């Protein structure tokens, strides 16, 4: 199955006042999509978070909070709180960004062909709020079950540890 078949199945739902995703009356088992005005995103996110999450920027390698973290937990979208990845799928790729071999579940992320900067890549976005997370690469020879590397910006994520804490 192509990674491009993973598309949102419900239309965007405006979430007034920044309420959490999934709390706006979506049908059972479906998560409502979050849509906010640009000015609201600017108020809720730091300048670096906004640059990466909303403008598809990239943080410098080896500078993010989670690139070498081995703490057990779930990685949420920093913009909307959707659970995206777990520490079970995280691996050391030595690329300077957190790397995962699969998302938490099908439908939590979506994929876009990215042909910027003269490259042909696959961009990964949060399927709930459409925030930029990073890119996914295939066939690089890592010994992972999927042969994929989800190269994700730390600033796009928030780690909730298995003991309920946050951070490294």
- 103 and 125 in contact (C-beta within 8 Å)? no
- 117 and 58 in contact (C-beta within 8 Å)? no
Helix (H) or strand (E) holding 29: none
Mean pLDDT of the chain: 83
> What is the structure's pLDDT at 22?
35
| pTM for the model | 0.79
Please indicate whether residue 151 is annotated as part of the active site: yes
> What is the structure's pLDDT at 91?
95
Encode pLDDT of 65-81 as tens digits.
Answer: 999 999 999 999 999 99
Which residue among 80, 126, 129, 151 is the active-site one? Answer: 151
Q: Which distant-in-sequence residues (6+ apart) come within 8 Å of 97 by Cβ? A: 59, 61, 64, 67, 134, 151, 152, 153, 154
Within a 10 A sphere around the Cβ of 91, how many other Cβ atoms? 16
Encode pLDDT of 79-137 as tens digits.
Answer: 999 999 999 999 999 999 999 999 999 999 999 988 877 778 899 999 999 999 999 99
């Amino acid at each position: 199955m192509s990674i491009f078949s993973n598309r949102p199945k419900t239309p965007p739902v405006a979430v007034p006042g920044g309420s959490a995703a999934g709390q706006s009356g979506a049908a059972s088992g479906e998560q409502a999509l979050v849509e906010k005005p640009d000015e609201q995103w600017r108020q809720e996110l730091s300048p670096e978070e906004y640059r990466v999450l909303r403008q598809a920027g990239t943080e410098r390698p080896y500078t993010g909070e989670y690139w070498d973290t081995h703490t057990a937990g779930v990685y949420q979208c920093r913009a909307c709180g959707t659970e995206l990845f777990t520490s079970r799928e995280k691996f050391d790729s030595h690329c300077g960004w957190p790397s995962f071999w699969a998302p938490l579940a099908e439908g939590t992320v979506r994929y876009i062909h990215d042909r910027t900067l003269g490259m042909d890549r696959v961009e990964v976005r949060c399927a709930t709020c459409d925030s930029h997370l990073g890119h996914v690469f295939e066939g690089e020879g890592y010994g992972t079950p999927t042969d994929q590397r989800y190269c994700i910006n730390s600033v796009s994520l928030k780690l909730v540890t298995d003991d309920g804490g946050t951070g490294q």
